[in-house]
Amino acid sequence: MSRPLRVAVVGAGPAGVYAADILTKSDVDVQIDLFEKLPAPYGLVRYGVAPDHPRIKGIVGALQKVLDKPQVRFFGNVEYGVDVKLDDLRQLYDAVVFSTGASADRSLDIPGIDLPGSYGAADFVSWYDGHPDVPRTWPLTATSVAVLGVGNVALDVARILAKTADELLVTEIPSNVYEGLASSPVTDVHVFGRRGPAQAKFTPLELRELDHSPNVEVIVHAEGIEFDEASMAAIRSNKQVEMIVKTLQEWAIRDVGNRPRRLHLHFLEAPVEVLGSDRVEGLRTETQELTGDGSVRGTGVFTDWDVQAVYRAVGYLSTHLTDIPFDHVSGTIPHRAGRVLDLDEVPMPGVYVTGWIKRGPIGLIGHTKGDALETVTSLLEDAASLPRATSASPDAIVQFLEQRGVPFVTNEGWRKLDLHEMALGAAEGRERVKVVSREEMTAISNG
């Protein structure tokens, strides 16, 4: 090919950025345009990872280095399916990689789950992480709250609900989030897991972190600390499970202190109904017993918990993209080694997928790297035979967006916002304070 291979990456979360990085490190002469629907890059690193996890948020430093590479251009505030479609990208690029992640909540099919006061974790996470597309206020009026699920996201949500606003003021939370959390009268946060301690999905680090707040007493309810044969096998064979179980066992028998707020961990309690007529007034759970193989069955013993809000943290879900096949059951784009498959399971020429929308919403940021490598390897294997873009000039996309009046944000523009947020933070002795409104973000970037 006499000109560089032109690749569009759609979605500037870690998967998309890693894909761009791997492409730039290949032997192939390549130019990459990274499209992102938000005015800021980094996906769930910016809008998912909890604000009190600054070490993880620090990954943005490495991701920014990729955006700064001469072969990479950033086009923020450009939404695939709205501002640009597959046919447009095919005219302008030799290959398109979709890395649009997951941002919606999986549903939970129990009565009452749609009552006011019952929320999806993803919406709450978006709020406390200052996502521009969610309302600025969050109704934090409950004194007792239930969190359904025992993964890392459930623990993030429970921890943010339980900590005081002042504890979080050292982080990058915007002022509307600080004010919302400061108004919260919460005293008790109950986390419910359907299965046993050995089947919990969170990591030992995330679990132990719960205990670091001077304002939160972590209480493990001993009734749920049960193990069957499969649990014992998991403890013996998996160091992480062993560490989790050891911590939970220690916490289950220790004396309860007098910190003002309590975070309760309940295992073997399956939520069966959110109670209330006009809004959440309680939660009914059914006690479970382990069946020997690590799964559970109901015991017929029910408990009603006095809670006024319910947060379900039962998984994230990807969204169907225009003109791209989608498996609605798994919530992923069908693919073979990252090559997107059409309805006849034949690879769509020049169309690839990576990240959470490829393999589902599981795994940490680091996992998206190996995933991107597989996809980019497939792309590079195909490179010589890809159908060529008809308008391959690098200026063509700029003209395309300008003609349509899309107020896109470049890497330079994003860096202006980045510096602005850091300056806001510096004024308060914090690393950063996030700007939330899309209009303000775009105005600062393009100002």
Ligand X SMILES: Cc1cc2nc3c(=O)[nH]c(=O)nc-3n(C[C@H](O)[C@H](O)[C@H](O)COP(=O)(O)OP(=O)(O)OC[C@H]3O[C@@H](n4cnc5c(N)ncnc54)[C@H](O)[C@@H]3O)c2cc1C
**138 touches ligand X by CB under 6 A:** no
Residue with smaller CB distance to ligand X, 172 or 286:
172
Residues 231-260 that bind ligand X (CB under 6 A): none
Selected range binding ligand X among 33-41, 179-187, 221-229, 417-425, rule: CB under 6 A: 33-41
Q: State which residue has the least CB distance to ligand X.
A: 13
Selected range binding ligand X among 44-52, 67-75, 159-167, 431-439, rule: CB under 6 A: 44-52
Q: Give me the least distance between CB of 340 and ligand X, in Å please.
A: 15
Residues 81-100 that bind ligand X (CB under 6 A): 81, 99-100
Q: Are 155 and 206 in contact (CB under 8 A)?
A: yes
Of 389, 438, 284, 338, residue with least CA distance to 33? 389
Residue with smaller CB distance to ligand X, 120 or 224:
120
**79 touches ligand X by CB under 6 A:** yes
Site string for ligand X, 115-134 (x = CB under 6 A): ----------x---------
**Angstrom distances, CA of residue 81 to CA of 37, 134, 179, 333, 398:** 10, 20, 35, 15, 17
**15 touches ligand X by CB under 6 A:** yes
> Which helix (H) or strand (E) covers residue 35, if one does?
strand 30-36
Residue with smaller CB distance to ligand X, 33 or 286:
33
Residues 302-321 that bind ligand X (CB under 6 A): 316
CB neighbours (10 Å) of residue 357?
27
Give SS3 for 178: helix
CA atoms within 13 A on the CB side of 160: 29
**414 touches ligand X by CB under 6 A:** no
Selected range binding ligand X among 31-39, 257-265, 300-308, 330-338, rule: CB under 6 A: 31-39
Q: Are 91 and 4 in contact (CB under 8 A)?
A: no
Selected range binding ligand X among 39-47, 88-96, 220-228, 250-258, rule: CB under 6 A: 39-47
- The b/e string for 10-42 (b: 16+ C-beta within 10 A; e otherwise) is bbbbbbbbbbbbbbbeeebebbbbbbbbbbbbb
Taking the alpha carbons at both ends of the chain, their separation in whole angstroms is 39
Residues 325-364 that bind ligand X (CB under 6 A): 355-356, 363-364
Q: Which long-range contacts (CB under 8 A, 24 or more apart) does 387-394 make?
A: 387/90, 387/94, 387/349, 387/350, 388/1, 388/94, 389/6, 389/90, 389/91, 389/92, 389/93, 389/94, 390/91, 391/91, 391/92, 392/3, 392/6, 392/92, 392/93, 392/94, 394/6, 394/31, 394/73
Q: Are 173 and 51 in contact (CB under 8 A)?
A: yes
**Angstrom distances, CA of residue 143 to CA of 91, 280, 360:** 55, 12, 34
Among 5, 8, 9, 12, binds ligand X (CB under 6 A): 12
Residue with smaller CB distance to ligand X, 231 or 368:
368
Name 30's Cβ contacts closer than 8 Å, sequence gap at least 6: 4, 5, 6, 7, 23, 24, 71
Among 23, 49, 134, 216, binds ligand X (CB under 6 A): 49
Residue with smaller CB distance to ligand X, 127 or 227:
127
Residues paired with residue 53 on neighbouring β-strands, in sequence order: none
**80 touches ligand X by CB under 6 A:** yes
Selected range binding ligand X among 37-45, 243-251, 377-385, 415-423, rule: CB under 6 A: 37-45
Output the six-digit token pair for 356.
């959470």
Residue with smaller CB distance to ligand X, 3 or 320:
320
Among 5, 7, 9, 10, binds ligand X (CB under 6 A): 10
Token pair 């993880």 is found at: 56
**200 touches ligand X by CB under 6 A:** no
Site string for ligand X, 144-183 (x = CB under 6 A): ---------x--x---------------------------
Of 132, 125, 178, residue with least CA distance to 153? 125
**43 touches ligand X by CB under 6 A:** yes
**190 touches ligand X by CB under 6 A:** no
Residue with smaller CB distance to ligand X, 129 or 286:
129
Among 308, 368, 411, 445, binds ligand X (CB under 6 A): 368
Residues 55-74 that bind ligand X (CB under 6 A): 56
Q: Give me the least distance between CB of 358 and ligand X, in Å please.
A: 8
Q: Are 72 and 17 in contact (CB under 8 A)?
A: no
Please give the size of the binding site for ligand X, defined by CB under 6 A: 36
Which residues of the chain form contacts with ligand X (CB under 6 A)? 10-16, 35-38, 43-45, 48-49, 53, 56, 79-81, 99-103, 125, 153, 156, 316, 355-356, 363-365, 368
